[in-house]
Copies of this chain bind each other. A is one copy, B any other.
Amino acid sequence: MSVIQVLAEGTLDFHPVDPDGFREYVRDHKRRALEPRLMGIREAVERFVQDGDYLAYDCNFFMRGPSALLREVIRQRKKDLWVCGKFTYVDSALLTAGGCAAKIDVGFQMAGPWLRRALDDGLKIYEYSNVVMTTRLQAGSMGVPFLPIRSFGGTDGFKYSGAKLIEDPYTGQPLVIVPALNPDVSLIHVQQADQYGNCRVFGTGISHVECALASKRVIISAEEIVDTEEIRRDPGRTTIPYYVVDAVVHAPFGCYPGEVQGYYASDSEGVLEVFASIGRDQLDAYLQKYVYDHEDEQQMLDRVVGQEKLNALKARATIKDGYHP
């Protein structure tokens, strides 16, 4: 029989690829029954985020991402996480400042003094790109061990990754393949979910469907909990099916200081405060103010942001077309 040449290989470790093992986890742990998965944010993070997990999240701290869930992860001082840093911006900086991150697969993140210091303290960085990371998640969501991709070849990121350059058996041309990623847990913020975890996301996104399907455990935070009757009225709007979801958290303003399209605008002041904290190397103070000083998210919103500002952010979300079913 013929062989396929492996022309080059990245040299760093990557989250282990085990499609059959993932299948067995899904068989044994994903609940197929329509049973309520609603719980508080603390319980959700306590139960479903574990020290040492590979943690993914969709979108980021400013853009329909799970900011409240990320703060709760930091509040609970989770440790040794391997973070999926696709399209992540400041999130990986916050997780590192909070002592949660041990490794980061980078697509894009906000660098700063924190990064050099963390590297010197042992943080491990693996260089990918946003699309490579979403492709790895796509492979994980398809239950296959890898996917071919037409980018990433020739970069130095390739060298510090789990990718391979092979001779395509169909064309004979060099072809990059990237390993599947099946995170231990993913955090996804959505506009609407029902109590079972059927979710609706409106507007553009990154890869929330793939993220949810590829992950062993999935925590959803939702701006609104809608009735399942409403889900059944328009099944074409469902983007994540309940049977991959482990927890549904009702989290209004769950992306603060970021924006959730159709629901509220970003708090520009709050957004720039994060960047300033990174630039001025004051992330500890930032976390104190927004995370550690409060028992939970509601307390933080009440004390630090205030209802008046929240109302104003809501009022600024004047574009509604396409965001409500």
CA distance in complex: A5, B142 (Å) = 23
Q: Which of A8-28 contact B (CB under 8 A)?
A: 8-9, 17-20
Q: By CB atoms of chain B within 10 A, which of A1, A5, A17, A235 has the most?
A: A1
Chain B binder among A29-37, A75-83, A172-180, A292-300: A172-180
| A144–B145 touching, CB < 8 Å | no
Among candidates B6, B150, B177, residue contacting A3 with C-beta atoms closer than 8 Å: B6
| B3–A4 touching, CB < 8 Å | yes
- Inter-chain contacts of A235 with B (CB < 8 A): 322
| B322–A17 touching, CB < 8 Å | no
- Inter-chain contacts of A168 with B (CB < 8 A): 145-146
| A166–B4 touching, CB < 8 Å | yes
- Inter-chain contacts of A144 with B (CB < 8 A): 147-150, 175
Q: Which of A228-248 contact B (CB under 8 A)?
A: 232-237
A308 within 8 A of B: no
- Inter-chain contacts of A180 with B (CB < 8 A): 170
Residue of B nearest to A235 (CB): B322
Q: Which of A186-205 contact B (CB under 8 A)?
A: 202-203
- Inter-chain contacts of A202 with B (CB < 8 A): 236
Residue of B nearest to A202 (CB): B236
Interface string of A128-163 (1 = CB under 8 A from B): 000000000000001111111110000000000000
A2 within 8 A of B: yes
| B149–A148 touching, CB < 8 Å | no
CA distance in complex: A179, B170 (Å) = 7
Residue of B nearest to A138 (CB): B142
A interface residues, tally (CB under 8 Å): 43
| A170–B6 touching, CB < 8 Å | no
- Inter-chain contacts of A237 with B (CB < 8 A): 322
A311 within 8 A of B: no
| B5–A3 touching, CB < 8 Å | yes
Q: A170 and B150 in contact (CB under 8 A), knowing A7-B1, A235-B322? A: no
Residue of B nearest to A164 (CB): B169
Among candidates B5, B169, B179, B236, residue contacting A166 with C-beta atoms closer than 8 Å: B169
- List chain A positions with a Cβ less than 8 A from chain B: 1-9, 17-20, 142-150, 164, 166, 168-171, 173, 175, 177, 179-180, 202-203, 232-237, 321-322
Q: List 22 A-B contacts (CB under 8 A).
A: A1-B5, A1-B9, A2-B6, A4-B6, A4-B166, A6-B169, A20-B171, A20-B173, A143-B150, A144-B147, A144-B148, A144-B150, A145-B175, A146-B148, A146-B168, A146-B170, A147-B147, A166-B169, A170-B180, A233-B322, A235-B322, A237-B322
